[in-house]
């Protein structure tokens, strides 16, 4: 049975031209009894918080307090009607940087919220799927003092190559190519939000990828993992599932990892 989800609305630190983006709608799932830790859970590109209910509920069943936000420009914050994602940054690759920075600020807001509602000193972790996995890695790199551990599910760094090779954002790729960007020049623009620029900060990170993934290519997952030398980091690569490893397979690896890390 799925754990109850309580909707909460958190303040957005970053203010944008789009009114609906300037709050952080989220859902909270609480375990029975005292939480063993807090977890921020992040959804994928063009998706929303509701798609992460099964993961959030499962983590709550295992004793974690979980908050799942709508990421910037997604879900209740989307620019399109009925929550449809619309990309607003064509022609300007710095928009990608701004979107990731906006998301990082919201991740920190979720962490602050968990700190406020949980017992003093409780540890926090982060996990996410696809784009949420990319943001998990980036959050671990940029905010090592906030998160004790993280699980990236089919996420990666190496963002310039990701945007130019992923099958899910061919519109962004075509736009970047049309205005003259290649992997090298785009990489320079995206350096502020490139997790591999902070390799020593990333510890206790489990990366889950798939060899046959065309959305977040498996070779990028492996290259990202190889950028983080700390022995506490772990890598699991599946085959035959594409971009969608089963929840059971993810749980089989991630729950013991979280228990060891906390």
Note whether residue 106 is domain-resident: yes
Q: Using the predicted structure, report yes or no on whether residue 1 has a pLDDT greater than 90.
A: no
User: Could you tell me the CATH number of the domain that includes residue 164?
Assistant: 3.40.50.1820
Per residue in 28-67, pLDDT (tens digit) is: 999 999 999 999 999 999 999 999 999 999 999 999 999 9
Note whether residue 1 is domain-resident: no
Note whether residue 70 is domain-resident: yes
| Two structure tokens written together for 45 | 């590109």
Per residue in 101-134, pLDDT (tens digit) is: 999 999 999 999 999 999 999 999 999 999 999 9
Count of domains forming the chain: 1
Q: What domain range is 138 assigned to?
A: 6-261
d(CA 202, CA 136): 11
pLDDT for the residue 3: 81
d(CA 104, CA 88): 18
Task: Count Cα neighbours of 149 within 13 Å in the Cβ-side half-sphere.
Answer: 20
Q: Using the predicted structure, report yes or no on whether residue 198 has a pLDDT greater than 90.
A: yes
The pLDDT-based confidence of 83 (bands split at 50, 70, 90) is confident
Note whether residue 230 is domain-resident: yes
Note whether residue 87 is domain-resident: yes
pLDDT for the residue 54: 94
pLDDT for the residue 2: 76
Look-up of token digits 């906006």: 102
Task: Work out the mean pLDDT of the chain and round it to a whole number.
Answer: 96
Note whether residue 119 is domain-resident: yes
């Amino acid at each position: 049975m799925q754990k109850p989800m309580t909707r909460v609305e958190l303040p957005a630190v970053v203010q944008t031209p789009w009114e609906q983006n300037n709050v952080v709608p989220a859902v909270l799932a609480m375990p029975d009894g005292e939480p063993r830790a807090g977890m921020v859970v992040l959804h994928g590109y063009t998706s929303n918080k509701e798609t992460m209910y099964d993961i959030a509920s499962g983590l709550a069943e295992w004793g974690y307090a979980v908050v799942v936000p709508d990421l910037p420009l997604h879900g209740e914050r989307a620019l399109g009607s009925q929550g449809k994602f619309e990309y607003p940054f064509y022609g300007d690759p710095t928009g990608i940087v701004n979107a990731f920075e906006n998301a990082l600020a919201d991740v920190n807001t979720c962490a602050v919220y968990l700190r406020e509602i949980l017992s003093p000193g409780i540890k926090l972790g982060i996990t996410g799927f696809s784009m949420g996995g990319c943001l998990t890695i980036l959050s671990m790199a940029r905010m090592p003092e906030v998160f004790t551990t993280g699980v990236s599910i089919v996420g990666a760094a190496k963002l310039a190559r990701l945007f130019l090779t992923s099958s899910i954002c061919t519109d962004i790729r075509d736009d970047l190519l049309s205005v003259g960007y290649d992997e090298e020049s785009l990489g320079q623009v995206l350096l502020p939000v490139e997790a591999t620029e902070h390799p020593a900060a990333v510890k206790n990170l489990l990366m889950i990828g798939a060899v046959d993934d065309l959305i977040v290519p498996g070779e990028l997952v492996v290259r990202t993992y190889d950028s983080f030398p700390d022995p506490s980091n772990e890598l699991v690569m599946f085959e035959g599932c594409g971009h969608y490893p089963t929840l059971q397979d993810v749980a089989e690896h991630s729950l013991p990892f979280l228990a060891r890390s906390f």
